[in-house]
Chain A
Amino acid sequence: MALLSRDEAQAILKKVLSFSKADECEAALNGRTRGNVRYARNAVSTAGGSDNVSLVVQSRFGKRSGVATCNQFDDETLRRCVQRAEEIARLAPEDPEYMPLLGPQQYLSPATFAPATAAISPDLRARMAADSIAHCEGRKLTAAGYLEDGTRFTAMRNSKGLEAFQQSTTVDFSVTVRTPDGAGSGYAVADYTDVAQLDAKALTKVAADKAAGSLGAKAIEPGKYTVILEPAALVSDEGMFNRLMYALDAREADEGRSFLSKKGGGNRLGEKLFDERVTIYSDPLNTQAPGDVFDGDGLPVKKMTWIEKGVVKNVYYSRFWADKNKRAPTAFPSGFIMEGGTQSVQDMIKSTKKGILVTRLWYIRDVDPQSLLLTGLTRDGTFYIENGKIKHPIKNMRFNESPIIMLNNVEAIGRPQRLGGNLIPPLKIRDFTFTSLSDAV
């Protein structure tokens, strides 16, 4: 039941709309099957899976709206679900931020669905985990990893003639390898649309090399350092990059509570706030990281430039806020692409006189929304670079840095790679601020 074709999904949605007595009605079907395997201490600890399809119906009378859901699709259940949404709508207060439903839209069609990913079996998951474990056992190291795959579809339809459908697959893999004495740790992470691209063994080797190479870490004095941030340090664990992109919100800025707020009122759209080599856009049609083609309102996600040569070109405008400010609304994309060059991390190390290679940043939290100052720590592979070579592993450190300052201190931008549905290059940044040492490995 979890995966419906476009025709099957739209047939259910058509029926839902036919039961509606409201002024406006919109319905969406979301389905997802997921499977996972988790291992630690070189053994599988848990494995599981789930599948679910749910229908959400929104009914509107004037500016009043009500929402109801169900996960069975016989006529009687559908009819009751529509009735409940209508009952709730009648009792609801008028929504001061009401926006009429969208009419028919044109959507892109990227290749977000890979049949091989949709067909992943528990055996394949177990085999990948076993391969990862075997590599570590062979090197007297300890693996803890997680593999999760998912196939989902979203279908929408409303009484104004909007009709949308998309299917997609993803597979996510991450592994932390540690030395048996707990003195060394390494990490690798990747995600793909097509599982055929996933090489769990190769990723495990990267993490294992980092774990073995991080034994005997030396402490260095906290302070400002040139850093090479690998993509995982920028986007894993809700990293500096994601948080910057989430903060590009017009309403927060116009209300005066964002780093994008202008003194005296308004926002800083159109201002150059970053190094001129910084260009960030979104494009659902990108073949390496294809994205969602519509958002929760059914608004089409199209190619959009957010930051161009350091200038803020677009920020997120909800339909309500866009209407209020006489602008076009923005659909928030499922991933971002930061333009980069051709250098690999190895190339970037070669051109570094003194610096620090950072594998991963962890427990990142907002410290001050005014400057977007964030804090967190390095983790699972931190190395000192001298004269173009990794000199020795170093102890982990806490940083206090703002992505705004970071993207003004750009030394070099490497070759982008996919992570978390984004395409992110490794970055070489000068004067990155570390404020204290940590004994954590």
Chain B
Amino acid sequence: MKRRDFVGLTGLAAGALFLPSFPGFGGTLVDPARLLEPVMDAGVNKRLADAALNAAKSAGATYADVRIGRYLNQSVFTREKQVQNIASTESFGAGVRVLANGTWGFAATNTVTEAGMAKAAQLAVQIAKANAKVQKEPVKLAPQKGYGEVSWKTPIQQNAFEVPIAQKVELLLAANAKALDNGANYVNSALFQVNEQKYFASTDGSYIDQDVHRIWPTFGVTAIDKQSGKFRSREALSSPMGMGYEYMVPKAADKIAGPAGTGLIGYKNSYDILEDAALAAKQAKEKLTAKSVTPGKYDLVLDPNHLGLTIHESVGHATELDRVLGYEANYAGTSFATLEWKKQGKPYGSKVVNIVADKLQPNTLGAVGYDDEGVKTKQWDIIREGMLVDYQKTRDQAHIVGQNESDGCCYAQSWQDVQFQRMANVSLKPGTQKLSVDDMIKGVDKGIYIAGRGSFSIDQQRYNFQFGGTVFYAIEKGKIAGMLEDVAYQANTQEFWNSCAATCDESDYRLMGSFFDGKGQPSQVSAVSHGSSTTRFNGVNVINTARKVG
């Protein structure tokens, strides 16, 4: 990552002619009105896709798929009282993937004409044949029936691109004002919106038209004590969602009160950015004088807006079959949860741990009708009562674990990138017994309640992790007992999930997610949600992260 990407991700201003775009995407800057123009026409796309499929078959491909994609992004960045950057981008083109001589080949083009598509298909076959020379085992695809002409759309209520930019800017600046009015020294806020218009066709006989929407409002608030030189930040408690602009319109029914004594509010399917920004400023200030944690073993009570990333890192990535098999060994890493480990029958977690992979769940980032290799999506169990029961697989991996169908979790970040196995939404099922957060805390003698995103780090086989949060509260004798600072917990994935004591019931269930999850070489981003209810883990090692320098 170059500095310009780095500063872009941290929400700071970028240089003058650095293309303001999401990490991982190219895209051309366009007028916002362009994002609403209909460009994709299923009839035209079918003709173009057939041109590619026919050319691939004529050149010797035994299988081919085509993805014609129009990827629309809009981002708005502000700080305090000013707009830093607004960018609307469009990227349009097609990727053709083929199997020839038992080997994959891929080529992409932004010349989306019958001739351009045929040329890309021929190039993909050429590449496949060249790579076949060093191939040892031919690719085996799980059988897949063609679906004919079908379509799917994220069930949004309001397309975020229909909302005028001025209204979005006004909302972010109003959130900034709330933070400043409540004592923040600095505030950065941002709104990311994505619309993927994808047309998939394959030699299996599928022609799939999809319209996928995602949104993510976020901010960071900083409070400073000039005299001591101390500064503390509090991040937004929003979640990236597979929704339209309706997520930005707060509804009372979507708010869940956090533990008594914290003032926190959990958000389900709509977010109150003004309310959260005001609270964030107060909490950032409170963090400046919060007690520094005494290291040791604590019972942790983890809010869904924090636990989501713990699930992501320690279960989501660990159960991706490509990692398990070694395809990511050089970069993202492998996994402890190998096929041999699974056979040993050791518990991944305690009996209350039930984790599902899901590509259907409404409002999630990963929800689609069909994946990027034309497989209808589904829900399936990953961990049942603490035992690992399955992995996340694509069509070319199913046979390796003796299965004959893909899980529908193949994805490419754009038309110009090759699709590969990506994480489905991976979520912890809520507890079946009635249990509120306050009731859970009542049973904790010495613990820490953690909410929000912090520092997340895990090893390349997903054993050892260290996670922080954005706010921490001490729990003493069943009650919240003031804010803590400098908290991070270190654990081993299996020990951690085996220490899982209870999870709150469905009424507390919420989503959080990762908008820019990176994997692969060259790296591609993907967006994925993780649902859970507040959950308790017993006897987890907590360290103090404060250090004195110079």
* Bound complex: CA A232 to CA B526 (Å): 27
- Contact of A148 with B522 in the complex, beta carbons under 8 Å: yes
Q: Among B82, B131, B327, B462, which residue has its beta carbon within 8 angstroms of that of A126?
A: B131
State which of B328-336, B348-356, B432-440 sits at the interface with chain A. B328-336
Whether B44 is near chain A, meaning CB under 8 Å from some CB there, is no
* Bound complex: CA A10 to CA B285 (Å): 52
Among A140-156, those with CB < 8 Å from B are 142, 144-146, 148, 156
Query: How many residue pairs, one in A and one in B, have C-beta atoms under 8 Å apart?
Result: 238
Chain A contact-residue range equals 35 or more
**Distance between B311 CB and nearest chain A CB, rounded to angstroms:** 17
- Contact of B455 with A296 in the complex, beta carbons under 8 Å: no
Residue among B31, B461, B543, B548 facing the most chain A CB atoms (10 A cut-off): B461
Whether A295 is near chain B, meaning CB under 8 Å from some CB there, is yes
* Bound complex: CA A368 to CA B327 (Å): 33
Determine the residue in chain B with the shortest Cβ distance to A368.
B545
Q: Among B106, B327, B545, B546, which residue has its beta carbon within 8 angstroms of that of A41?
A: B327
**Distance between B228 CB and nearest chain A CB, rounded to angstroms:** 7
- Contact of A96 with B522 in the complex, beta carbons under 8 Å: no
Contact A264/B227 with A257-B222, A332-B3 known, Cβ cut-off 8 Å: yes
- Contact of A263 with B457 in the complex, beta carbons under 8 Å: no
- Contact of B549 with A296 in the complex, beta carbons under 8 Å: no
Contact A174/B330 with A38-B521, A69-B28, A130-B134 known, Cβ cut-off 8 Å: yes
- Which residues of B lie under 8 Å from residue A68 when comparing CB positions? 29-30
Whether A373 is near chain B, meaning CB under 8 Å from some CB there, is yes
- Contact of B28 with A70 in the complex, beta carbons under 8 Å: yes
Whether A366 is near chain B, meaning CB under 8 Å from some CB there, is yes
* Bound complex: CA A441 to CA B4 (Å): 33
Among B515-550, those with CB < 8 Å from A are 521-522, 541, 543, 545-550
Determine the residue in chain A with the shortest Cβ distance to B133.
A126
- Contact of B459 with A238 in the complex, beta carbons under 8 Å: no
* Bound complex: CA A334 to CA B336 (Å): 37
Whether B53 is near chain A, meaning CB under 8 Å from some CB there, is no
Determine the residue in chain B with the shortest Cβ distance to A154.
B17
B-facing mask of A89-100, CB < 8 A → 1, else 0?
000010011000
Among B455-484, those with CB < 8 Å from A are 455-464, 466, 468
* Bound complex: CA A48 to CA B227 (Å): 55
Tally B residues with Cβ within 8 Å of A.
86
State which of A300-308, A340-348, A400-408, A410-418 sits at the interface with chain B. A400-408
**Distance between A298 CB and nearest chain B CB, rounded to angstroms:** 8
B-facing mask of A74-95, CB < 8 A → 1, else 0?
0000000000100110000100
State the majority secondary structure of interface residues on B.
loop
* Bound complex: CA A366 to CA B136 (Å): 42
Whether B361 is near chain A, meaning CB under 8 Å from some CB there, is no
Contact A435/B134 with A48-B106, A68-B29, A84-B31 known, Cβ cut-off 8 Å: no
- Contact of B224 with A256 in the complex, beta carbons under 8 Å: yes
Determine the residue in chain A with the shortest Cβ distance to B126.
A122
Contact A28/B17 with A52-B26, A263-B228, A332-B3 known, Cβ cut-off 8 Å: yes
- Which residues of B lie under 8 Å from residue A133 when comparing CB positions? 134
Q: Among B16, B104, B327, B548, which residue has its beta carbon within 8 angstroms of that of A40?
A: B327
- Contact of A41 with B457 in the complex, beta carbons under 8 Å: no
- Contact of B459 with A56 in the complex, beta carbons under 8 Å: no
* Bound complex: CA A351 to CA B131 (Å): 47
- Contact of A261 with B229 in the complex, beta carbons under 8 Å: yes
Q: Among A54, A377, A437, which residue has its beta carbon within 8 angstroms of that of B457?
A: A377
* Bound complex: CA A377 to CA B492 (Å): 13
Whether A259 is near chain B, meaning CB under 8 Å from some CB there, is yes
- Which residues of B lie under 8 Å from residue A42 when comparing CB positions? 136
* Bound complex: CA A40 to CA B6 (Å): 29
Determine the residue in chain A with the shortest Cβ distance to B10.
A246
**Distance between A116 CB and nearest chain B CB, rounded to angstroms:** 21
- Contact of B521 with A36 in the complex, beta carbons under 8 Å: yes
- Contact of A26 with B546 in the complex, beta carbons under 8 Å: no
- Contact of A375 with B488 in the complex, beta carbons under 8 Å: yes
Whether A323 is near chain B, meaning CB under 8 Å from some CB there, is no
**Distance between B31 CB and nearest chain A CB, rounded to angstroms:** 6
* Bound complex: CA A375 to CA B227 (Å): 28
**Distance between A152 CB and nearest chain B CB, rounded to angstroms:** 12
Whether A58 is near chain B, meaning CB under 8 Å from some CB there, is yes
Q: Among B334, B458, B549, which residue has its beta carbon within 8 angstroms of that of A402?
A: B549
* Bound complex: CA A259 to CA B231 (Å): 10
- Which residues of B lie under 8 Å from residue A265 when comparing CB positions? 226
Residue among A30, A142, A182, A265 facing the most chain B CB atoms (10 A cut-off): A182
* Bound complex: CA A38 to CA B330 (Å): 10
* Bound complex: CA A26 to CA B186 (Å): 31
- Contact of A257 with B186 in the complex, beta carbons under 8 Å: yes
* Bound complex: CA A148 to CA B222 (Å): 39
- Which residues of B lie under 8 Å from residue A398 when comparing CB positions? 457, 459, 464, 466, 490
**Distance between B439 CB and nearest chain A CB, rounded to angstroms:** 32
Determine the residue in chain A with the shortest Cβ distance to B420.
A46
A-facing mask of B208-249, CB < 8 A → 1, else 0?
000000000000001010111111010000000000000000
**Distance between A174 CB and nearest chain B CB, rounded to angstroms:** 6
Whether B338 is near chain A, meaning CB under 8 Å from some CB there, is yes
**Distance between A224 CB and nearest chain B CB, rounded to angstroms:** 13
- Contact of B6 with A246 in the complex, beta carbons under 8 Å: yes
B-facing mask of A374-386, CB < 8 A → 1, else 0?
0111010000000
- Contact of B488 with A371 in the complex, beta carbons under 8 Å: no
- Contact of B490 with A435 in the complex, beta carbons under 8 Å: yes
Q: Among A182, A334, A440, which residue has its beta carbon within 8 angstroms of that of B463?
A: A440
- Contact of A262 with B135 in the complex, beta carbons under 8 Å: no
* Bound complex: CA A254 to CA B464 (Å): 37
- Which residues of B lie under 8 Å from residue A129 when comparing CB positions? 134
* Bound complex: CA A376 to CA B328 (Å): 19
- Which residues of A lie under 8 Å from residue B456 when comparing CB positions? 365
- Which residues of B lie under 8 Å from residue A70 when comparing CB positions? 28
- Contact of A41 with B326 in the complex, beta carbons under 8 Å: yes
- Which residues of A lie under 8 Å from residue B231 when comparing CB positions? 256-257, 261, 369-370
- Contact of B3 with A69 in the complex, beta carbons under 8 Å: no
Determine the residue in chain A with the shortest Cβ distance to B185.
A256
**Distance between B34 CB and nearest chain A CB, rounded to angstroms:** 10
- Contact of B327 with A144 in the complex, beta carbons under 8 Å: yes
Q: Among A41, A96, A334, A362, which residue has its beta carbon within 8 angstroms of that of B325?
A: A41
* Bound complex: CA A26 to CA B15 (Å): 13
- Which residues of A lie under 8 Å from residue B226 when comparing CB positions? 256, 263-265
Among A242-281, those with CB < 8 Å from B are 246, 255-257, 259, 261-265, 268, 271, 273
Whether B1 is near chain A, meaning CB under 8 Å from some CB there, is yes
Contact A48/B418 with A58-B17, A144-B329, A371-B547 known, Cβ cut-off 8 Å: yes
**Distance between B85 CB and nearest chain A CB, rounded to angstroms:** 9
Q: Among A34, A43, A182, A369, which residue has its beta carbon within 8 angstroms of that of B334?
A: A182
- Contact of A367 with B468 in the complex, beta carbons under 8 Å: yes
Whether B137 is near chain A, meaning CB under 8 Å from some CB there, is yes
Whether A47 is near chain B, meaning CB under 8 Å from some CB there, is yes
* Bound complex: CA A71 to CA B329 (Å): 36
- Which residues of B lie under 8 Å from residue A365 when comparing CB positions? 455-457
- Which residues of B lie under 8 Å from residue A234 when comparing CB positions? none
Determine the residue in chain B with the shortest Cβ distance to A56.
B17
Whether B387 is near chain A, meaning CB under 8 Å from some CB there, is no
* Bound complex: CA A38 to CA B1 (Å): 19
**Distance between A85 CB and nearest chain B CB, rounded to angstroms:** 9
* Bound complex: CA A239 to CA B30 (Å): 35
- Contact of A40 with B328 in the complex, beta carbons under 8 Å: yes
Whether A287 is near chain B, meaning CB under 8 Å from some CB there, is no
- Contact of B549 with A259 in the complex, beta carbons under 8 Å: yes
Contact A145/B131 with A69-B28, A436-B490, A440-B464 known, Cβ cut-off 8 Å: no
- Which residues of B lie under 8 Å from residue A48 when comparing CB positions? 106-107, 127, 418
Apart from A71-B28, A439-B492: 7 A-B pairs, beta carbons within 8 A? A40-B326, A84-B31, A144-B326, A156-B17, A264-B227, A334-B2, A365-B456
A-B pairs with beta carbons under 8 Å apart, 8 shown: A26-B16, A93-B83, A263-B227, A367-B468, A370-B231, A404-B549, A438-B461, A439-B461
4 nearest A-B pairs in the assembled complex, by CB-CB distance:
A296-B15, A438-B464, A144-B329, A440-B461
